[in-house]
Amino acid sequence: MDYIFDPGQQLPMLDAGNLIHAIDGCRILIANDYELELIKSKTGLQKEALLKLADTIIVTQGEAGSLVYTQEDVIKIPAVKPKKAVDPTGAGDAYRAA
C-alpha cells in the first residue's frame, strides 16, 4: 500500500518502535526541520537510514522552502514569496496537499 507518513503533532506520542514501523515502507516521510530532528533522535536513525525505510523524505523549512531527499538526489524547492503575508496558518497543510 502506498502512503505518505506525516507524523506532525502526533510525533511526541509515538515511541521509537511505532515510529519506525510507520515510516517503514512509506512512499514519502514529510516533516519540518524540527520534526525530522526529533524523528532522528527518537529512532536513533540518521537521514540515510531513514531513506532505506521511506522512498523519499521531504523536509519543510518555512520561508526557506523545502528539501526533497531521495536515495539519488537532494532537490531544493524555494519558497514562493507572498504578495502579503496575513496568516501562515495552514500553509504547511496546503503544501502537503499539493
Reading across the β-sheet that carries 56-60, which strands appear in turn?
4-5, 28-32, 56-60, 66-69, 74-77
The continuous run of DSSP H or E covering 59 comes out as strand 56-60
Active site residue 55: no
Residue 14: all three cell numbers together: 509515538
The continuous run of DSSP H or E covering 66 comes out as strand 66-69
Active site residues: 93
